[in-house]
Structure 1
Amino acid sequence: MHTMWKGTISFGLVNIPVKLHAATEDKDIKLRQLHKECQSPIKYEKVCPVCDREVKQEEIVKAYEYAKNKFVMLDEEELENLRKEQTDKAVEIVDFVKLEEIDPIYFEKSYYLSPNEGGGKAYTLLRTALKDTGKIGVAKMMIRSKEQLAVIRVYENTLVVETIHYPDEVRSVADVPNVPAESEAVEKELATAKMLIDQLTTEFDPEKYKDDYRTALIELIEEKKNNNQTATAKDKQVPNNVTSLMDALEASLDRAKKTKPTSPKKPAGRKKTTTTTKKTRKQA
Structure 2
Amino acid sequence: MRAIWKGAIAFGLVNVPVKVYSATEDHDISLHQVHNADGGRIRYQRRCEVCSQVIDYSDIEKAYEEDGRTVVLSKDELKSIPAENSHEIEVVQFVPSEQLEPMMFEKSYYLEPDSKSPKAYVLLRKALEDTDRVAIVQFALREKTRLGALRIKDDVLVLQSLLWPDEVREVNFPALDTSIRISAQEREMSAALVESMAADFEPASFTDEYQVQLRQLIEAKLEQGESLDTEETFGAEAGEGGKGEVIDLMEALKRSLDRKRGAESGADTKEADADDDGAHEGGDGKAPARGTSRAKASEGKETTAAKKPAAKGTAKTAAAKSTAAKSGTAKAPAKSTTAKSATAKSTGAKSTAAKSTGTKSSAARARKGA
Residues 76-95 of structure 1: matches in 2 within 5 Å? 76-82=75-81, 85-95=83-93
Return the offset for 1:94: 0.7
Q: 1:119 and 1:195 mapped to 2: Cα distance?
A: 54
What is the distance in 1 between the residues matched to 2:117 and 2:71? 43
Whether the 8 Å CA contact 1:111–1:162 is kept in 2: the answer is yes
SS, match of residue 96 in structure 1:
strand
Counterpart of 2:61? 61
Q: Which residue of 1 aligns with 2:121?
A: 123
Paired letter, 2:143: S
| C-alpha contact (below 8 Å) 1:6/1:20 kept by paired residues | yes
Q: Which residue of 1 aligns with 2:208?
A: 211
Once the two structures are aligned, what percentage of the paired residues are identical?
37
Change (3 A) 1:49 1:178: farther
The residue that corresponds to 1:168 in the other structure is 166
Give the residue type in structure 2 aligned to 1:212.
Answer: E
Match of 1:279 in 2: none
Which runs of 5 or more residues in structure 1 are unaligned? 231-284
Query: Who is 1:15 aligned against?
Result: 15
Shift of 1:196: 0.8
Secondary structure, counterpart of 2:18 in structure 1? strand
Greater share of helix: 2
Q: For residues 49 and 113 of structure 1, what CA distance do their matches in structure 2 show?
A: 44
Structure 1 contact 16–119 (Cα < 8 Å) conserved:
no
TM-score by length of 1: 0.74
Query: Which letter does structure 2 place at the counterpart of 1:167?
Result: P
How many angstroms apart in 2 are the aligned matches of 1:47 and 1:207? 46
Cα shift readout 1:61-88 (whole Å, capped 9, x = no counterpart): 2111224x43222121110111x64433
Aligned-partner residue type, residue 65 of structure 1: E
Q: Does 1:27 align with 2:27?
A: yes
Post-superposition shift, 1:102?
Answer: 0.7
Distance in 2 (alpha carbons) for counterparts of 1:193 and 1:158 = 40
Q: Does 1:153 align with 2:151?
A: yes
Q: Is the 8 A contact 1:17 1:119 kept in 2?
A: no
1:97 partner letter: V
Match of 1:225 in 2: 222
From the CA coordinates, give the structure whose radius of gyration is larger.
Answer: 2
**Which of the numbers 185, 189, 192 marks the counterpart of 1:192?**
189
Instruction: Give the 3 Å change call, closer, same or farther, for CA 179–11 of structure 1 in structure 2.
Output: same
Q: Cα gap change, 1:177/1:30 in structure 2, threshold over 3 Å: closer, same or farther?
A: farther
Letter in structure 1 aligned against 2:72: M
Contact 2:46 2:54 in 1 (8 A): yes
Name the CA distance, whole Å, in 1 between partners of 2:79 and 2:84: 10
1:234 aligned residue: none
**Cα deviation digits, residues 4-38 of structure 1 (max 9, x gap):** 11110021121110000000001222211111222
Question: Is the 2:134–2:149 contact (alpha carbons within 8 Å) kept by the matching residues of 1?
Answer: yes
Q: Which has the higher strand share?
A: 1
Structure with larger RCO (C-alpha < 8 A, sep 6+) = 1
When structure 1 is superposed on structure 2, of 191-200 and 87-96 the one drifting more is 87-96
**1:177/1:214 Cα in 2 relative to 1: closer, same or farther (>3 Å)?**
farther
Please say if residues 6 and 87 of structure 2, whose CA atoms lie closer than 8 Å, have aligned partners that are also in contact. Answer: no
Runs of 4+ off more than 6 Å: none
Hey, what's the Cα distance between the residues in 2 that align with 1:101 and 1:119?
33
CA drift of 1:2 comes to: 0.8
Q: Is the 8 A contact 1:17 1:118 kept in 2?
A: no
Q: CA RMSD in A?
A: 2.1
Where 2:80 maps in the other structure, the secondary structure is: helix
Residues 167 and 119 of structure 1: CA distance in aligned 2, closer, same or farther (over 3 Å): farther
2:47 is matched with 47
Q: How much does 1:160 deviate?
A: 0.2
- Structure-2 separation of matches of 1:23 and 1:182: 44
Matched, 1:96 2:94: yes
Deviations 1:213-242 (A, max 9, x none): 011111221232244669xxxxxxxxxxxx
The TM-score normalised by the length of structure 2 is 0.57
Offset of residue 112 of structure 1: 0.5
Where does residue 72 of structure 1 map in the other structure?
Answer: 71
Structure 1 pair 87/119, CA: closer, same or farther in 2 (3 Å)? farther
Instruction: Go from structure 1 to structure 2 and tell me whether the alpha carbon gap of 1:117 and 1:43 turns closer, same or farther (over 3 Å shift).
Output: same
- The letter of the residue matching 2:202 is D
User: How many pairs are equivalent?
Assistant: 227
